[in-house]
Amino acid sequence: MATVEAEKEFTFAFGGSKGEKHAARGSSQQSLISALRDSSSVFAEEEKKNEGRTVQLVEREQLRGALNVGMPCRGLPEKAHLEVSFAASGGSQGRQDSAGGQECVTFTVGPAPGERPILKEPEVGVDLCVFALGEETVGEALGKDGRFLPEVCGEGWQLVERKSRQAFPLSLVAKQLPAGPFELGPEGAGAGDQAPLPGTKPGLYQLAQELDQYLKGQLGGGGPWEGAQKEFEELTGGPAPNRLPSHVAKLPMGMNEAVGTLRWNRPGNEGSASCFLLARGHVLTCHHAIKMMVGEGVPESHWGAVVSEAASISFTFRTSGETQWKVATGGLKASSPELDYVILALEVPEGRGSELRPGLASFATKPIPQGVVYTVGRQFTEALMLAPLSPEDGDDLAGRQSFQAFSGCTFSRQPRPERVPYDTEFLHDPAVSGSPVISHYGGLVGLHTGSYQYQERMVEFGTTIQAIAFHIHLSNRPLYQLLFSNNPQKKNCTIM
């Protein structure tokens, strides 16, 4: 018996969102323009009245852009509502190769301010929503869209995410893009001081701005810091909390046992940092720790040999006591100075693989906007209170790459002599940096990377696990699959 293909239902109105709504539907492979013509006599009549003019479709609530009329219906979100208008003749009639069952993804693009034109026809007043099929790159999707000038779809051009100012090459597979929206412009134009792949170590100005916004809302009798301290003590159970809530303390023992210490001892250079097992014998730690290990002036292409020779990693497993591990030759698998992380593969001698714990990747989850989290070390657990995000972030954490938080030391004003600078802005504490940050509900949400001084207070900060996973996804897809997509506790990784 032949299967009946599911249909996508949507509504549309003429002349703006307040017009009378009409219903339409089409098969998943059918183009929008075909579905409108076949399923709605109202549309067919209106199009006949505007013969010779170009149909324009805009979806403002979810896709937030002018759609390509050739987009397959399966690219529409649920309960989509389209605004239909008719423009002067000469415009694109839409991409024609939308047939087939390939995955359809969309991304929204507008021109970079002050840059060269990107469209064949005058701008429609909204961004353009582009669709890509299967493994098409961003450049391929733009080139097939029909509305963009040919010269902006290839080399020398890039997408820049409007909020984070991250730059993405047009050679990137379109389905690997974050949510957007994006600006299309020449390479190097409009991007912040980020690497081409997502990620940026937070700058002091950005972090301080967020703290300023948060502290303005504190009404403590002695000032905003006193109000923040009172909130901290109420949420964490005291000025210097040294205990965990019972439900957090009952988390799987493997979460504690996955935390380790990275040590190195080279002539004139001895040090340590925290780290933890992520998955399958791979360890996550801080980029700045590896940089301190290898020393200044060593190209990153040579780091792997130094690390495999100088580094040792130890875990305290209840079943086998202190265990020592070396980093495998060629074991530096991924890194980012902007996100301050490194992935190291351990050298696992034959017969010792069963000693390693599964790791924490199976607990990885998306960032949380505020509340209490816990930095888990080998011999300590510290409660941190997240400083709420800036108002413009709201609850949309899709592009969030960093977090900042208060600890008991924030309010005690007691110096910590073990903190050492690792660049001009941030401080490194070997006892904490490189340790996992666990949410109140037991999810792995971050990597603690350092702290910075703000008005004589020490504020902790770190990188979200989601940002690290996304960076690996773009730069080393097989490694991402190995670490985040093949965990027995998660059939499908939801970190992104």
pLDDT along the chain (496 residues), means of 10: 65 79 90 93 91 88 90 91 82 70 88 76 78 90 91 86 80 82 79 38 72 81 84 80 56 70 89 92 95 87 90 73 83 91 93 84 88 81 83 62 88 73 77 89 91 85 92 87 69 53
Check if the beta carbon of residue 243 is closer than 8 Å to that of residue 260. no
pLDDT for 275 = 94
Check if the beta carbon of residue 298 is closer than 8 Å to that of residue 282. no
pLDDT for 293 = 93
337 burial via Cβ count (<10 Å: 0-12, 13-18, 19+) = middle
Task: Note the pTM of the prediction, 2 decimals.
Answer: 0.60
Domains along the sequence of the chain with CATH: 7-186 (3.10.20.90), 204-250+361-485 (2.40.10.10), 253-355 (2.40.10.10)
DSSP letter for 222, please.
T
Give CA–CA dist 175/192, Å, rounded: 23
Give CA–CA dist 374/490, Å, rounded: 23
pLDDT for 53 = 87
SS3 75: helix
pLDDT for 419 = 80
pLDDT for 216 = 83
Torsions phi, psi for 232 (to 5 deg)? -60, -45
Give CA–CA dist 62/78, Å, rounded: 9
Please state at what angle helix 303-310 crosses helix 287-294, rounded to 10 degrees: 80
Q: Which helix (H) or strand (E) holds 82?
A: strand 81-87
